[in-house]
Amino acid sequence: MYQFKLEALLNHRRHQEESCQKEFAKARRRLSNEREELERKKKDKQESLEKLQAKTKESLKVSDIRLHMNYLQQLSKDIEDQALRVHQVVKLVDQKRHELISIVQKRKTLEIIKHKENLAYQQKLIQDERKSMDEIASIRHARQM
């Protein structure tokens, strides 16, 4: 029976791939959450702007306007910070994607080697069987003479 010499390494690569897939999925979920948070903050800012514009049609105190403007500035800063976090997580996702691709390629290479060695082993078995059959046939032929 054929035994692949690098089976332990192949199993290790499969385990690495599974682990990397989990990390990649976790990074993608985090990216999704960070993007949702960014959109939520942008929506909050837009709603606050609309409220401020609606209130400016009424009579407002300067202190109230200043308070709204400070709040809008803080929202803008939060949006910038969140956009930076999204950018960092995008980089992380790309890094995990490249790691996963590399690990998959290494695993597939080992599987191709295993497949080729198995085919060579099967061919050798067939060749040995033919050789044995030829010897038996030649012995029978020699006995009949």
The per-residue pLDDT for range 38-52, each reduced to its tens digit, is 999 999 999 999 888
Q: Structure pTM?
A: 0.78
The per-residue pLDDT for range 49-106, each reduced to its tens digit, is 988 888 877 777 888 888 889 999 999 999 999 999 999 999 999 999 999 999 999 9
Q: What is the four-CA torsion angle of 84, 85, 91, 95, rounded to 10 degrees?
A: 160
Task: Please report, for residues 41, 110, 114, 126, the alpha-carbon distance to residue 3 in angstroms, rounded to integers and kept in the order given.
Answer: 58, 14, 9, 17
The per-residue pLDDT for range 114-124, each reduced to its tens digit, is 999 999 999 99
Q: Provide the pLDDT for residue 58.
A: 77
Q: How confident is the model at residue 137 (pLDDT cuts 50, 70, 90)?
A: confident
